[in-house]
Amino acid sequence: MITAIYPGTYDPVTFGHVDVITRAAGIFDRLVVGVVGEPRHKKPLFSLDERVEFLREALSGLENVEVEVFSELVVDFARRWDAKVIVKGLRVISDFEWEFQMNQLNRTLAADVETVYVMASPSVSFVSSSGVKEIAYFGGDVAELVPPAVAARFKALYPDGRPGTPENPQE
């Protein structure tokens, strides 16, 4: 049985993430979607509980996919699950530059854990969490970019567009 992990902040999960997860679930026996509990390089708009719930709802039809929180090195998370593979999604060339660096660091820490890259499908290759947040903030419709629960939450946060800042939506 081959277990893989797919780590990320998922703030929020998009149809681009769902695309990569669905395709990776067809390759590996078990896929553990790892949600970063406390991202060091960005402050999430959505709470950890919301991010996990959005994922679990969006992925409920995938029997071999689990969603778990982690707050450790990615390679340690992989080892905890006895995973030999880290799945990473790629959309554009600039994604590769960052992922190449992360791959080299991860291989230094855990040479036995391989990274596999899954190219986003063309229909979602332009979708990013930051882009979705920007559209929603200005009152745009994100229903075609994110799962229904995420779109509904954005509507609640920004019913008329820009009620405050994304960091403080009640301003």
- Residue 91 — pLDDT band, cuts 50, 70, 90? confident
- Strand 85-90 and strand 30-36: pairing? unpaired
Q: What is the pLDDT of residue 39?
A: 83
Of 30, 80, 91, 107, the catalytic one is 91
Write the pLDDT tens digit of every residue in 37-88: 988 888 999 999 999 999 999 999 999 999 999 999 999 999 999 999 999 9
Q: How many domains does the chain have?
A: 1
| CATH number for position 113 | 3.40.50.620
Largest CA distance in the chain: 50
The reply to whether 140 falls in a domain is no
Of 17, 51, 88, 133, the catalytic one is 17
The 3 state secondary structure assigned to 42-82 is: CCCCCCHHHHHHHHHHHCCCCCCEEEEEECCCHHHHHHHCC
Write the pLDDT tens digit of every residue in 8-34: 999 999 999 999 999 999 999 999 999
Clarify whether 17 is annotated catalytic: yes
The reply to whether 164 falls in a domain is no
The reply to whether 169 falls in a domain is no
pTM: 0.89
Any alpha helices (H) in the chain, and if so which ranges?
15-25, 48-58, 74-80, 93-109, 129-137, 148-157
Of 42, 123, 130, 162, the catalytic one is 42
Q: What is the pLDDT of residue 38?
A: 85
The reply to whether 153 falls in a domain is no
**Residues 127, 145: contact at Cβ < 8 Å?**
yes
- Residue 164 — pLDDT band, cuts 50, 70, 90? low
Clarify whether 91 is annotated catalytic: yes
Clarify whether 130 is annotated catalytic: no
The reply to whether 138 falls in a domain is no
Of 128, 129, 133, 153, the catalytic one is 129
Strand-pair partners of 115: 86
Clarify whether 41 is annotated catalytic: no
The reply to whether 130 falls in a domain is no
Q: What is the pLDDT of residue 32?
A: 98
**Residue 68 sits in which domain range?**
3-122
